[in-house]
Structure 1
Amino acid sequence: MLSGCTSQPAHTPETRAENVPGKIIRLMPASVPDRAGWASDIMAAFKAQHIAPSTENICSVLAVAGQESGFQADAPVPGLGKIAWQEIDRRAGQIHIPAVVVHAALHIPSPNGQSYSERLDAVRTEKQLSAIFDDFIGMVPMGQRLFGNFNPVHTGGPMQVSISFAETHAKGYPYPVADTLRHEVFSRRGGLYFGIVHLLAYPTHYDRQIFRFADFNAGWYASRNAAFQHAVSRLSGKPLALDGDLINYGEKSPGATELAVRTLGKRLNVGAATIRRALDKGETAQFEQTDLYQRVFALADRTQHPPLPRAILPGITLHSPKITRTLTTAWFAKRVDQRYMRCLAKAGEK
Structure 2
Amino acid sequence: MAPPTTRRRRPARPAQERAAPARAVRGAGPARGCARVTSRVRPPLLLTALACALLACARGGTREPPPLPRLTAELAARLLPPRVPAAEREGWSRDVLAALDAHELPPDAPHLCGVFAIIEQESGFQANPVVPELPRIVREGLEAKAKKLGPLGRPALERMLAGKAPGQSLTFAQRLERVRTERDLDLVFRELLEYHRHAHPFTFGAANVLNALFGSQSFEDMNPITTAGSMQVSVRWAQELAEQRHQSTDTVRDELYTRHGGVFYGTARLWGYEAAYAEPLYRFADYNAGPYSSRNAALQAQLNTLLGLQLLEDGDLLAYDVDGRPSREDSRTLLAFVAFARRFAPSTLSEGRVRRDLEREKTRELEETETWRTLKAVYARIQGEPAPYAQLPDVSLKSPKLKQERSTAWFARSVDTRYAACQERYRALGNVHTASR
Q: Choose the corresponding residue for 1:43, options 89, 97, 102.
A: 97
Aligned runs of 1:84-233 on 2, under 5 Å?
A: 84-96=138-150, 97-110=152-165, 111-140=167-196, 141=200, 146=210, 149=219, 150-171=222-243, 180-233=251-304
2:333 corresponding residue in structure 1: 257
> CA 1:163 to 1:190, structure 2 compared with 1: closer, same or farther past 3 Å?
same
Q: Decide which of 67, 74, 77 is 1:25's aligned counterpart.
A: 77
Question: Which residues of structure 1 form unaligned runs of 5+?
Answer: none
Residue number in structure 2 paired with 1:319 = 398
Superposed CA deviations along residues 171-228 of structure 1, whole A, max 9, x for unmatched, are: 4769x86962111112111111111010001001000100000000000000000001
Please give the per-residue CA displacement for 1:119-138, whole angstroms capped at 9, x wherever unaligned: 11121110000001001111
Distance 1:24 1:105 in 2: 48
Question: Deviation per CA, 1:109-160, whole angstroms, max 9, x where unpaired?
Answer: 3443222122111211100000010011111345766155121111110011
Q: Distance in 2 between matches of 1:160 and 1:21?
A: 23
Check 1:32–1:179 CA distance in 2 against 1; reply closer, same or farther (3 A cut).
farther
Q: Distance in 2 between matches of 1:261 and 1:118?
A: 53
Greater Cα radius of gyration, structure 1 or 2: 2
User: 1:343 — aligned with what?
Assistant: 422
Distance of 1:144 and 1:104 partners within structure 2: 11
Which has the larger displacement, 96-105 or 28-37? 96-105
CA contact (8 A) 1:5 1:208 kept: no
Contact 2:293 2:316 in 1 (8 A): yes
Partner of residue 60, structure 1: 114
Aligned mate of 1:75, from 117, 129, 133: 129
User: Deviation of residue 39 (structure 1)?
Assistant: 1.4
Q: Give the counterpart letter for 2:232 in structure 1.
A: Q
CA contact (8 A) 2:22 2:271 kept: yes
Corresponding residue SS for 2:146: helix
Mapped contact 2:315–2:393 kept (Cα < 8 A): yes
2:238 partner SS: helix
Are the counterparts in 1 of residues 172 and 192 from structure 2 also a CA contact under 8 Å?
yes
Deviation at 1:23, TM superposition (A): 2.3
C-alpha contact 1:315 1:329 (8 A) present in aligned 2: yes
Q: Is the 8 A contact 2:81 2:422 kept in 1?
A: no
Alignment CA distance shift 1:285-1:168 (3 Å): same
- Aligned partner of 2:356 among 277, 289, 292: 277
User: Aligned partners of 2:245, 2:259: CA distance in 1, in Å?
Assistant: 14
For these two proteins, the number of residue pairs brought into alignment is 344
CA distance in 1, matches of 2:393, 2:249: 38
**Is 1:294 the counterpart of 2:373 in the alignment?**
yes
Task: State the 1:24 CA deviation.
Answer: 1.8
SS class of match (1:192): helix
Percent sequence identity over matched residues?
33
1:340 match: secondary structure = helix
Calculate the TM-score normalised by the size of structure 1. 0.90
CA positional deviation for 1:308: 3.3
Kindly indicate whether the alpha-carbon contact (under 8 Å) linking 2:71 and 2:108 is maintained by their aligned counterparts in 1. no
Opposite residue 97 of structure 2, the aligned amino acid is M
Aligned-pair CA distance for 1:103: 2.3
105-114 or 70-79, which moves further after superposition? 105-114
For structure 2, the residue ranges without an aligned partner over 5 or more in a row are 1-18, 29-66, 321-325, 431-437
SS in 1 for 2:177: helix
SS, match of residue 312 in structure 2: coil
Q: 1:144 to 1:196 in 2, by over 3 A?
A: farther
Higher RCO structure, 1 or 2 (CA under 8 Å, sep 6+): 2
Structure 2 CA distance, aligned partners of 1:164 and 1:94? 27
